[in-house]
Amino acid sequence: MKIKLIPILLIGIALFTSCRKDFEEIDTNPQGFTNATDGSLFNGIIQSLMLTGNEQFYINNEILYAQTQQAALTKAAWGNYTIGTEDMWANYYKTLPSVRKLEQKFATYTPSAAVTNMKAMLTIVKAYKTFKLTDIFGDIPYSEAGYGYQDLTKLYPVYDTQRDIYLSLLSDLEWAATSINDTAASAEPYTTFAKFDKLFNGDLGIWRKFANSLRLRYAMRMSEKEPELASGIIGDIVINQQPILLGYDFITAVLESACIWPAANSITNSSVSWSFREHNGLRMGSNIWHQFSEDDDPAGGGIFDPRAYIFFEGDQNEQWVPFPQIPEAGTPSAQGIPYGSHRDDIGNYHIKNNVNYSPFNFFLIGDENNMPIILMTGAEVHFILAEAYLRGIGVPVDPDQADIEYMNGINASVEWWMELSERLRLPISGVRFGDKITIPGNLGSASVLMRFGSWNATSDEEKLAFIYTQRWIDAFRQPWEAYAEARRTGMTPREGGPIAHFRMPYPPSEIQYNSVNMNAAQQRQGGDDPTVKMWWMK
């Protein structure tokens, strides 16, 4: 009997082994990390910097543009903002495991300049994403988040305080900026990794500038709550002449920026046009109109800022008609279809279907290939430095240097946006910006300075208001940044009362998945509604 059983057992083992081979692919967790390369993981993290359609529709278009008053919300028709907060939350926390996986892998590699550079690039992107999320929600899971696939005890991560997150990220950015070695010979594994860098194409010098520029942005943001720490960071960068993104180098235009360019990365950014087309509630408001024009001449005779022509356009009759920022009873409602895809046609571009208020420029939201996702501009850096010199934050008070940085900021912003407009074209018809829109030749940075030059200010407070105004304008397609500045300063252009909206409530999914830690964060901050201020606010 024993002898007869041996062949049967051998056949059984063979069948079992064959069965397991056939099921190897089925048994693999599709959500887990198997053979993903470092570069492919990093590429996914970079692409996650693109805004989702729901974030743009329900957060930017429905809430942030109205709160910043960079535009007018003609009707608040979409109360389900949680669709947007869920998307923002998911985008971050679905990406974070890839960040943690790369951190884990890099820790096992033999130390080298190549590996350090890869770590630094990852650190900078992680910092940008985390700063953006915490500035919308306040306290968020961070130090324990993204590790659930490695450690089951961290499936329900605690919420870190916003202060702890800020200080940790600023320390990380300092390490990244000082550790990047852009003089080392290119070698593996960096050589292959850099091919997946869809932000700066492996240019380590720009990565270092971006890190230092982010340090300036967030140090200034917390300067009211942590003046000594903020001053130390700003002083370190300015006094030690650390490399930063430049808009102008004295009198030479540099126009550096941190952007994702869709066409250059074989990406079609269709979510922008979708969000405007389906929302259809944004128009040029009276607030921003009065920063662009000296009067209300509908023919545009009072316009002194060429960015008016880039950000907005005329109504159905090509007249400049702003929607009242604070509409009175009886104000005619906004009409027409200014963002319809029918306009992507050389013959139908002018058809706006009874549009009675100036809409956003169709090229700005319709170009899915050449309109970038803006993370930071060199102009913003100049405005930060102008504020630092005017207020003496990290550097001695120096009104003359403040004026120079402020002027550089205006020059850089106006020229950057005008240069961008020359690239814009509609994706189907190929119609170019210049084919349909002519910016008067007398408009440029000089015409903006004639109105907003620092010499026109009668006090330091008015100079500061000028700086905030121009930084707010430059951030036109970064409403989350303008929202932060409006909350921080209380001095960005505004009609009506002061801003009273300071954060977004946590997404409802957290009640289901991480309620204990979320409740603790709510209690610590004083609630979970828009009136709860950020840690860095006055």
- The answer as to whether 324 is a domain residue is no
Query: Is 30's pLDDT higher than 90?
Result: no
Distance separating alpha carbons of residues 498 and 501, to the nearest angstrom: 9
CATH code assigned at 469: 1.25.40.390
Domain ranges, residue 155? 38-271+367-500+511-525
How far is the first Cα of the chain from the last one, in angstroms, to the nearest whole number?
87
Distance separating alpha carbons of residues 286 and 321, to the nearest angstrom: 8
- The answer as to whether 13 is a domain residue is no
Distance separating alpha carbons of residues 474 and 513, to the nearest angstrom: 38
Tokens linked to 512: 């289901």
User: Could you tell me which residues are beta bridge partners of residue 285?
Assistant: 323
Cβ–Cβ under 8 Å, residues 99 and 142: no
Distance separating alpha carbons of residues 205 and 342, to the nearest angstrom: 43
Instruction: Identify the pLDDT of residue 26.
Output: 36
Per-residue pLDDT averaged across 86-102, rounded? 97
- The answer as to whether 90 is a domain residue is yes
Per-residue pLDDT averaged across 284-295, rounded? 98
- The answer as to whether 149 is a domain residue is yes
Residue in this structure with the two tokens 């205006």, named with its chain if needed: 410
Query: Is 1's pLDDT higher than 70?
Result: no
Cβ–Cβ under 8 Å, residues 339 and 317: no
Distance separating alpha carbons of residues 212 and 242, to the nearest angstrom: 7
- Domain total for the chain? 1
- The answer as to whether 79 is a domain residue is yes
**For residue 159, what is the enclosing H or E element?**
strand 159-160
- The answer as to whether 145 is a domain residue is yes
Query: Is 6's pLDDT higher than 50?
Result: no
pLDDT in tens, 355-384: 999 999 999 999 999 999 999 999 999 999
- The answer as to whether 488 is a domain residue is yes
Cβ–Cβ under 8 Å, residues 347 and 274: no
Cβ–Cβ under 8 Å, residues 158 and 144: yes
Picking from 452, 476, 455, the residue whose alpha carbon sits closest to that of residue 466 is: 452
Distance separating alpha carbons of residues 352 and 111, to the nearest angstrom: 59
Q: Say what the pTM is.
A: 0.92
Distance separating alpha carbons of residues 524 and 522, to the nearest angstrom: 5
Query: Is 31's pLDDT higher than 80?
Result: no
- The answer as to whether 338 is a domain residue is no
